[in-house]
Structure 1
Amino acid sequence: MTISRPVRRLVVSILALAASCLPALAQAPGQGRESAVLEGVNMAVVMPVDLASSAANAECGLTEQLVNDSIQLTVQSAGLRTELLSQAQPFTTVTPGVYLIPTIATLRDSSSLCVTWLSLKAQSAHTLTLPSTQQRKTVQVLYWDRGMLLSTPRGSHAGAVAAGLRQLAADFGEQWRRDQR
């Protein structure tokens, strides 16, 4: 897919602005234990990424294996048990966990440049009773969310995306470690 230069600049500007806002959401050092939202989590399940939604993902060398390995191995090195969804056991009260959800959106222009927004978030689903109606509802709880924008030549893009995912996974692992103290 060929994207006009003004549209590409607009997309890159919007994604860069979104990425610049994310660090402000990070936990500030010195906050109390009430902000340790990952405390007690002892398992992470890496969800599959939808790379087929954009042909540019394949054109730029991105594969599900690259994504899974970059996330799973990095989070495991932080000490958190991590499994792919296809191999994971259900969460229990003994094994509370979160789902690690990668998002990858890639554009490729006519000059063989690949631009990818990638993000990683940790969330879980919980059923609760709404006080106003006493109805039970399942809600998504977002524990952690970060992302970045990468732009590289097509030949080196897969390596850059793998490095970016490892950085996001390492940041998540570090947050998880801090919250366990």
Structure 2
Amino acid sequence: MSEEEWIVDGIDHLNYRAVEGVYLSELNVGLKKLILHDYPELSDSSFVSNVHLVKYRLIFMKNVIDKANKKNDYVRETVYEVTKNQAYETMDVQEEWDNTITFGQKIADIVARFGGSWTFIISFVFLMAVWMAFNVLKPFGLVFDAYPFILLNLALSTLAAIQAPLIMMSQNRSSDYDRLQAKNDYRVN
């Protein structure tokens, strides 16, 4: 179709150039329904000029906006009805959490925090190196844990046996805190 081709508008029956409108089949369904409501004799092959499309596009947009406003009003009223009899207070989750912590939980948090730090790793490696060096080199002829370092093995096993449950307790508390935070976020939202 060339730009100079003239086509008859299905609404006002005047001639328009092809670039000054579209065929009804090219329009979106909602816009097409609006036009067909007023002009039921039109078909998908009918030409509609931009002059008339502007009017129907404005009506279509007004309908879309009105529908959105009705939905917003409904949501606003629903939220108001749900919340009018319930007093929602903001909660400082950290303060609430700190008020419920026990002495044992504080210890577990401190052990987990220290056990997962570079300070612990470096001091632990240093202590093991000193332990083994002292017992291998035998300064002053003193040996308290000769090679194969059975006492060191016992100490490491005991440390792992005590440290693991404390870290797990701390992780459980951390997940409980996250759950409390999520519950508070849900209530606020």
TM-score by length of 2: 0.24
Larger relative contact order (CA 8 Å, sep ≥ 6): 1
Q: Which has the larger radius of gyration?
A: 2
Which of the two has greater helix per residue? Answer: 2
